[in-house]
Structure 1
Amino acid sequence: MSRPIPPHRALTVPGVHGYASAKTVHAGERIDFHVSSDRPCRIAVCRLGPDADSRDSDTVVADLGVLPARVQPIHPGSYVHVERGLPAALPLPGLTLECWVMPWRCSGERQALITQYDAPAGCGFGLFIETDGTLSLYLGDGGAKQEAALHAGTRLAARRWQHVAATWDGRSAALWIDGACAGRWPVAGPVRPGPAPLRLGAAGGPFGADAFADVDLALPVIYERALSAAELAVRAGSRARQLPADPSVRACWPLREGRGDRVADASGHQREGRIVNHGTWMIRGPAFDEDAPEARHDPFAAPGQRQGLRLAGDDLYDCRWAATHRLAVPADARPGLHVARLRFDWEGREAVYDITFLVKRPADAKPAPLLVLCAMSSWLAYAATPFARNQVEDPVWPRRSTGLPNSHPHAPAFCSYTYHRAGQPSYFTGLRMPWPHASPAALYDPAGSGFSQWTRLERRLHAWLEREGYAFDLLADLDVHADPGLLAHYRTVVVNGHSEYWSTPVVDAFDAMLRRGGQALVLSGNTMYLRVSFDEDMGVMEQRKNEERGADPDSAELRPPAGPFGEEFHSQDWARGGQLRAVGRSAAGIIGLESAGWGFADADDFGVYHVAEPAHPLFNHPHRLGLEHGTTFGHAPGGGLPRAIGHEWDLSTATLLRMTREGPPGAVLPEPPPGLTVIAQGIRRVPGALDTYLDWHSRATDPLGGLSAEMIYWERPQGGRVFHAGAVGAAWVVGSDPVFDGLLRNVLHHFGCQPR
């Protein structure tokens, strides 16, 4: 459930936007839809039909009527809210506001650091960064705003830690940066805190919390006296490692929690804070030492290394919109991908906005013999521009999911492939947010290819299985994360689409399914590559990609949105993020292949499979496909699009070792797993400017004659059987290539799955 937040500056996004209360729902259960619209819309719930290129085959499940215009604002911006401020009416005998801060920007809107300040009528005190980057101090009487009560000092530096402080001794006020005085002014007082709550990273405005800071913040402290220059120099030199031992401390937030939304007060005055809009833990604190030996298994082994909290003015992971529609999904509803479809007038033409969700079999129904997993963790990772400007034509999502034009310049637009507006790396995605890229009409670059990811890609397999008469269940990987025991009900599981992001509980449950003698049919590339985690109520997903040690943050070689070295540990579970291989979950050891590269060139960049083992049973039983060595497949008749080998792909350990020239110091190369057979090779003949081939260490290397993917069959020594197609485009060609379709029938037969 969404929790209410204190009064907060609202932002109205024009157009039509919405999300469902859940990404998946069982038939027979209820689902809500949360819509904001500045114009009337007609809304119907539809089950997606067999034609991925048209809405005409979709089936209307429920007509929910006309939704009158109802705009629901969003409230972006993270900060710490402390309800129990300093006593409002008591004059202060003295004051010091102290913290460590790393500003991500030093221009634009004003940023608040430590405040008890509600403009225009409850202005007590505040430490700010002004629009030109100068540090400033406000000292008021807790009442109406007074321009003369603001004192501005020296400009701060962007993107480096600085110790900042403001002092007032009853006669004069001063600002300090890194222990040096940055300005001094006579201020006689009185200074009263006023009735506003304490806030870290925000101040109060006419409409609630405002002046959100784009900063990393560490060890903010409030003293009821003025610290001396010598004391401040000692505090600056401690790099936030030492809590103050001073009876005048009235609030002290060590910011060492590393997770959750509660911020403890170490002063003894019970000024606990609540983080609004999530923020980011597990950052590099002021004491982080890049040259110190890294704690690879315990992120807290070195004191102060990851102390602090990152705040962002565009942080938002839960819209908190009221439900506008409610649907009781019929108990006999056919499982499948569904949308709540909104139709409305946009610039004189009809536009369509789809809210995608998955209907599963009834919770008490007998499982089908085949399970297909939807890669929704990957859908979430690519969820750029949640409030994208509405379009009449089907949207095309740019390369690397940098997003569509935004409906409002200040609306959040970040995802796992783009940064926050001020440049902070983005590690989180909210599940209670719109995801227009998951529309079944959304396309993906290369332009003109017709290639897609997410819903449009995955439903091709669903439609083919239904057409062929196979009984199957659908689940999202999110469902398996919430209940890993679900996989115990299935012997054969299909991994579909672009299944890049996996949580460790899902990886472990999948491996356990195979160890019990289960079977995996993988129609994906870049598979099981990066680790994600979720918070306790499955409202926020986390992923962390980081720069290598010593990397140049301005280097064009870095792939966005890499965070700085040392921020690889998740705040959800304090375990290391990044590649699953780095946490002992190598995809090659579980499903036989490892992620090996990507290409973002032109439509002609997609390649095809070449048969390597024509006598293999999967090419001959029970249906003989009539293939010879070198015969191509994985393409439309005549070799046209769709073609399977493109976008992203996987290769075997043996091939990756051939592509590996050198590795990091001390790195040990693995032995190729026994029993694995490469039955076809995916070849791309058109090198693209944005192509990247990876070796075993995920470092850029040269390709082996265009070899970009391998199709394998593997009877694992540890139990279980795997067919792996090795390319994201594999699911794209289903239903377009008779040879590939025949191969799928043979694989399913081999795994004991028969059509009705």
Structure 2
Amino acid sequence: MSVETNRFLGYPDRLSVPTGERIVFHLSSAEAAVDAAIVRFRCADADASGPGLRYTVLPSPVDGEHPCTDQEIRPGSAAIVEDVGRLALQGSWSIGCHVWPTRLDDENQTLLARWCDETETGYALCLSPQRGLCLRLGAASEGPVEVFTDAPLRPRHWYWVSASFSAETGKAVLTQWLLADGGTPEEIIEREFDVSGEWALDAGIPFVMAAHAAANSPLKLAGHFDGKLDSPRIAAGIHAAAALRHIEPMARSGAPSSEVIAFWDFSIGIDTLVVRDLSANALHGRLHQLPRRAVTGVNWSGTVHDWRLAPREYGAIHFHSDDLYDCGWTPTLKLDVPADWRSGFYALRLRLPGEGDRGARDVAVESFIPFFVTPGIGRPRARLAVVASTATYLAYANSALRLYHVHFQGLTEHVLQLTFDDLYLQEHPELAQSTYDTHVDGSGRCYSSWLRPILNMRPRANPFNLVSDTHFIDWLEEQGIDYDVITDVELDREGVRAVEPYRVVCTLTHPEYYTFNMMNALLAYQNAGGRHICMGANSFYWRCAFHPVAPAALEVRRGMAGTRTWESQAGEVHLAGTGEPAALWRHSGFAPQKLVGVGFAAMVYDHPGYYLRTDASDDPRVSFIVEGIEKEERIGDFGVRIGGAVGIEIDRHDIDLGSPAHAIVLATSHGLGTGALPTPEEFRTMVHGLDGEQNALVRADMVFFETPNGGAVFATGSISFALSLSTNDYRNNVSQLTGNVVRRFLSDEPFAMPRPAA
């Protein structure tokens, strides 16, 4: 029986919570009530060929029925200024900004406005896809008026747009000024209109940039703009377009300009959510739904690519009608995590009222909201810590690649099977997609937040990332090995303190996205004698960051290399939140090989492979790893779903990229075919023979090396490795090898660094 997974949706206020602290859940449903319970997962993979869905229900204060309401999601970013009336324009005035539109094929989009649809009052400077620049005016005593330049704008070109109104003559002037760029010449279109009337333009609402108010109390936005805005300004009096464009917002000390009502300089505070007004009125604003900063503005010269070096060249903000940081739902229930709970992979289970006690196979509706319980910093309860890859989970959150990637079926070389979650995501784009997808204007999504329902980061979901990671949790439980669970959020925010109490740290099947703090923490841990087991592949590949002032959001910039589905705009590779360069860790001089001995080599689109031991595996330094495994034995020619331990994405040892000289490649992959293809950064030009049948660089390597102070590192080199652990009731050579490594790494006996060769 199929289970409906989206009748109840929700998200937590935090992804990880230490024992003894509180987590809050925000739920939405058309159902009037929901049955809730807390579960701790052993395996979140419902695939019947593996261990299956395995969890324990933990009694808690949230057990039972709770009221539920249908809560709205309103995506779309904007800048909002909560002024007290200074921007209710009176008399003569002028307004303008630089604009770089990216989508002009839908309804009118608002640039600058103190306008309310509900009352049809105020003013708005807008773009019409057919009629160009638009000025809209409305007052209690005058019906709404709209005037247009009747000249459509071109997407992805910089314009200066402005409007002025003379109270004396009742004339309004619209200017649409295409700026020269390369072979594109300057073009100025100016239109004058008679809009005589008593224009008391006070809508009694906030001033909004990149949208306008549909209604007030509460404020609801509409008319979202897709594109960049740069240096919006408003001035008292009539100013010609050129004069307004070059107006000086900050006069010399002691002589503030009285004509400048507001001048918002987006180049100030790029790493914040504040937009600064340079006028004497200090009409500062706040950003709504996290639009993209650190983007090139109208002044970008191309001589710098780091916004910190020339912020004036990055004076734009890129707004999107489908930006989403926080759904802003009303909380439904909260949980104070008991101090005696084990750490682990947890979820809030949601069912229809009256079905709480039924078996998992006997329910028609069931949904989960995952979270992680940690022991808390400095309170370890085991010698081994498992690090959940929440940054990677977020990077893929609500991925729509299967829906919209035109080559997806050809790449995977099998018929595409869409899930109900895929279909629900297509029907509900307001949930926002992943950092692998694009906005409606075609620009890549660089933010992903956990303050929204995430359909593919939960049990019964797409069997990747979190679901695959629980196969290792299941194996630890089967082997009776004690463990704690922490997340990479703790690594990022607490540094090495998060892992230093542990003898062993295990990263899971796909720790692809790592921040600067995470990388430093793991390296410091290893160098201090810690033992690191990397169970997966495509590990430590993308440099990213959690936004310092929007901490639930992961920020990613793709750059121009790596396995990617979109590219950053020129000059937009540095992160807005931290300023650091993003893209591949390899291009920041810290390839994954330096950390764990292997790094991303290839994607496996067709059939998986297996490992064979190398001659180097006879070295006594790794005899403990291969104990019980014959030299010619195929390691992992089996596995759940994939069918082999070498699959999905694989990592390779490479001295040139930083693999330690003393690292031992104890096993390497065999059996890969034409569907195993190298990552783009692995070849300089298109040639024949790139695939896994002909290219020696397309392989998975299993690697071990010692670290200072008695530590060591072991890496499997394959995402699908953990999917082979449970085959034959856990009695197989992948399970045997993994157990050999874990038990030796947990021992008190130090590893000795080999002596350098003479």
Shorter chain as denominator, the TM-score bin is: 0.7 to 0.9
SS in 2 for 1:354: strand
Distance 1:753 1:201, change over 3 A: same
The code of the aligned residue for 1:17 comes to L
How does the TM-score come out when normalised to structure 2? 0.83
Q: Tell me, yes or no, if structure 1 residue 163 matches structure 2 residue 160.
A: yes
Displacement of 1:426 in angstroms is 1.0
CA contact (8 A) 2:625 2:737 kept: no
User: Residue 406 of structure 2 corresponds to which residue in structure 1?
Assistant: none
CA contact (8 A) 2:78 2:289 kept: yes
Q: Tell me, yes or no, if structure 1 residue 333 matches structure 2 residue 334.
A: no
**Per-residue displacement from partner, 1:251-306 (whole Å, max 9, x unpaired)?**
1001112121111101111111111112111011112234x3x34xx433346332
The code of the aligned residue for 2:554 comes to M
Q: Percent identity?
A: 24
Q: Tell me, yes or no, if structure 1 residue 469 matches structure 2 residue 470.
A: no
SS in 2 for 1:48: strand
Matches within 5 A, 1:302-321: 302=310, 304-321=312-329
CA contact (8 A) 1:370 1:753 kept: no
Displacement of 1:514 in angstroms is 0.9
Q: Distance in 2 between matches of 1:474 and 1:411?
A: 32
How big is the alpha-carbon RMSD for the aligned residues of Structure 1 and Structure 2?
Answer: 3.6
User: Residue 350 of structure 2 corresponds to which residue in structure 1?
Assistant: 342
Q: Distance in 2 between matches of 1:365 and 1:300?
A: 39
In the alignment, structure 2 segments of 5+ residues that lack a partner are: 179-187, 356-361, 404-414, 749-758
Displacement of 1:428 in angstroms is 0.8
CA contact (8 A) 1:178 1:233 kept: no
**Per-residue displacement from partner, 1:550-585 (whole Å, max 9, x unpaired)?**
xxxxxxx98323221211111111111111223333
Distance 1:559 1:715, change over 3 A: same
Matches within 5 A, 1:6-405: 15-39=7-31, 40-49=33-42, 52-53=45-46, 57-62=54-59, 64-84=63-83, 87=86, 91-92=90-91, 94-121=92-119, 123-132=121-130, 134-140=132-138, 142-143=139-140, 146-170=143-167, 171=169, 172-178=171-177, 180-194=188-202, 195-206=204-215, 208-228=220-240, 230-231=242-243, 247-256=258-267, 257-290=269-302, 292=303, 294-295=304-305, 298-302=306-310, 304-344=312-352, 350-361=364-375, 365-384=379-398, 404-405=423-424
The code of the aligned residue for 2:720 comes to G
Q: Distance in 1 between matches of 2:535 and 2:238?
A: 65
Matches within 5 A, 1:444-483: 452-483=463-494
The code of the aligned residue for 2:41 comes to L
How does the TM-score come out when normalised to structure 1? 0.83
User: Residue 725 of structure 1 corresponds to which residue in structure 2?
Assistant: 716
SS in 1 for 2:234: strand
Match of 1:751 among 740, 745, 754: 745
CA contact (8 A) 1:525 1:649 kept: yes
Q: Tell me, yes or no, if structure 1 residue 547 matches structure 2 residue 531.
A: no
Q: Distance in 1 between matches of 2:594 and 2:429?
A: 44
Distance 1:362 1:375, change over 3 A: closer
In the alignment, structure 1 segments of 5+ residues that lack a partner are: 1-12, 390-395, 444-451, 549-556, 658-669
User: Residue 3 of structure 1 corresponds to which residue in structure 2?
Assistant: none
Q: Distance in 2 between matches of 1:527 and 1:397?
A: 26
Match of 1:628 among 627, 631, 639: 631
Q: Distance in 2 between matches of 1:620 and 1:749?
A: 13
Matches within 5 A, 1:607-756: 607-613=609-615, 614-617=617-620, 620-621=623-624, 624-629=627-632, 631-636=633-638, 641-654=642-655, 673-688=660-675, 691-695=677-681, 702-703=690-691, 704-705=695-696, 707-716=698-707, 720-736=711-727, 738-753=732-747
Displacement of 1:487 in angstroms is 1.7
Q: Distance in 1 between matches of 2:567 and 2:287?
A: 24
Q: Distance in 2 between matches of 1:682 and 1:401?
A: 35
SS in 2 for 1:148: strand
Distance 1:200 1:44, change over 3 A: same
Displacement of 1:671 in angstroms is 6.6
CA contact (8 A) 1:694 1:700 kept: no
Displacement of 1:676 in angstroms is 1.4
CA contact (8 A) 2:112 2:125 kept: yes
User: Residue 426 of structure 1 corresponds to which residue in structure 2?
Assistant: 445
Q: Distance in 2 between matches of 1:89 and 1:284?
A: 31
CA contact (8 A) 2:233 2:263 kept: yes
Q: Distance in 2 between matches of 1:456 and 1:247?
A: 61
The code of the aligned residue for 1:326 comes to K
The code of the aligned residue for 1:176 comes to T
Q: Alignment length, in residue pairs?
A: 690
SS in 1 for 2:738: helix
CA contact (8 A) 1:376 1:476 kept: yes
Displacement of 1:344 in angstroms is 3.7
Indicate the larger mover: 482-491 or 186-195. 186-195
**Per-residue displacement from partner, 1:22-41 (whole Å, max 9, x unpaired)?**
21222333322211011243
User: Residue 393 of structure 1 corresponds to which residue in structure 2?
Assistant: none
CA contact (8 A) 2:399 2:436 kept: no
Displacement of 1:108 in angstroms is 1.3
**Per-residue displacement from partner, 1:629-660 (whole Å, max 9, x unpaired)?**
5x3212328x9953122211111224xx6xxx
SS in 2 for 1:113: strand
Q: Distance in 1 between matches of 2:164 and 2:370?
A: 54
SS in 2 for 1:231: helix
Indicate the larger mover: 182-191 or 209-218. 182-191
Distance 1:120 1:469, change over 3 A: closer
CA contact (8 A) 2:166 2:238 kept: yes
CA contact (8 A) 1:25 1:31 kept: yes
